[in-house]
Amino acid sequence: MSLCVVGSINADLTVNVGRHPTPGETLMGSGGGITAGGKGANQAVAAAKLGTPVVLVGAVGADANAEPATALLRDAGVDLAHVEDVEDVTGLAVITVAAGGENTVLVVPGANALVGAELVQRHAAAIEAAELVLLQGEIPADGFARAVELARGRVVVNLAPVVDVPREALLRADPLMANEHEAGLVLQQLGLDGAGTPEELARRLLDAGFASVVLTLGSAGALVASGGELTHIESPNVDAVDTVGAGDAFAGAFCHRLLAGDSMVDAARFACRVGAFSVTRPGAQPSYPSAADTLPSV
């Protein structure tokens, strides 16, 4: 049961600080190393490390960052035959991590901005053959839409960041996966009220036409909405070191379990445990568990 991820590949430049700077302020930090990132790559690695066969469609640049950006994809066994080398810089994310684990991220798209409809079409066979296609918001809208058009299997959309994509493509999501803030922005994009509790947002998204919705709520767990029913999933209580990529760990793990035959509720329970595991270690992809790791329990 294969997963095709169509999405971004980044080099993550991470700086650790005691607290986040205010506008105009200069702080001293530590770190500065380059690690692998990008929402598409993160989610691909998360699923592959757990044992799912994963194909990634994307692009990297002709620069020194291409190697570290793809190193953990190769280590995890992700099929990179559909990752193109383009004449641009590899996507770059500048991440600031505060002492409590909260982070800010500034992304330079680079090669990811070239993962449009034309590039996606060149890899149609990989997308059409997948049992599940997973998409995010870090590639151009026409590339996103073309991937949805090509998908013959289930489509899962984690529209992060929330970008303007064709309504009919977005509504193919089953489920739409988002955090509370992103859920509100998606509703606004659809011309609807984006304020309210997670439960209200989830019901409004179902009413808007989504077959199902999964809202990630950080340390509060997740909310699964399908068939008019809402189920709250608890997250294990852990000491967070670094929350970078935790949502991507959840997404990859969720798809891993869907392909194994789990219900969305059971997949979300497992994904919450994987997300909790990831925040106890620094970085995004380096923090993700393998199938052999012991996950925290609720």
Length of the chain: 298
Question: Binding residue per annotation — 49?
Answer: no
138 is in an annotated binding site: yes
For residue range 90-114, what is the model confidence (pLDDT) as tens digits? Answer: 999 888 889 887 878 888 999 999 9
Predicted local confidence at residue 95, as pLDDT: 84
Instruction: Give phi and psi for 70, each to the nearest 5.
Output: -110, 0
Q: Residue 219, annotated ligand binder? A: yes
8 is in an annotated binding site: no
Alpha-carbon distance of 178 to 51, in angstroms, equals 24
pLDDT for 282 equals 84
Q: How far apart are CA 77 and CA 52, in angstroms?
A: 10
**Averaged pLDDT, 115-126:** 98
pTM for this model (two decimals):
0.92
CA triplet 223, 261, 178: central angle to 5 degrees? 25
Question: Is 10 marked within a binding site?
Answer: yes
CATH class of 3-9+37-90+109-279: alpha beta
Q: Is the CB of residue 38 less than 8 Å from the CB of residue 91?
A: yes
Strands across the sheet containing 30-37: 30-37, 10-16, 91-97, 103-108
CA dist 281 and 227 (Å) reads 36
Question: Measured on CA atoms in the order 25, 28, 34, 39, is the torsion positive or negative?
Answer: negative
248 as an active site residue: the answer is: yes
Q: Is the pLDDT of residue 179 over 80?
A: yes
142, 164, 193, 248: the catalytic one is 248
Cα torsion 87, 85, 76, 234 to 10°: value is: 50
pLDDT tens, position by position, 18-50? 999 999 999 999 998 888 999 999 999 999 999
Q: Which of 255, 264, 194 is nearest to 230 (CA)?
A: 264
Task: Round the average pLDDT of the chain to a whole number and report it.
Answer: 95
What DSSP assignment string belongs to 167-185? HHHHTT-SSEEEEHHHHHH
Domain ranges of the chain: 3-9+37-90+109-279
Query: Strand 30-37 and strand 10-16: pairing?
Result: antiparallel
Q: Is 1 a residue whose pLDDT tops 80? A: no
Mean pLDDT, range 187-214, rounded to an integer: 97
Rounded Cα distance between 75 and 159, Å, is 26
pLDDT, tens digit, for every residue of 220-247? 999 999 998 999 999 999 988 888 889 9
Task: Report whether 247 belongs to an annotated binding site.
Answer: yes
| 8-22: b (≥16 Cβ within 10 Å) or e | bbbbbbbbbbeeeee
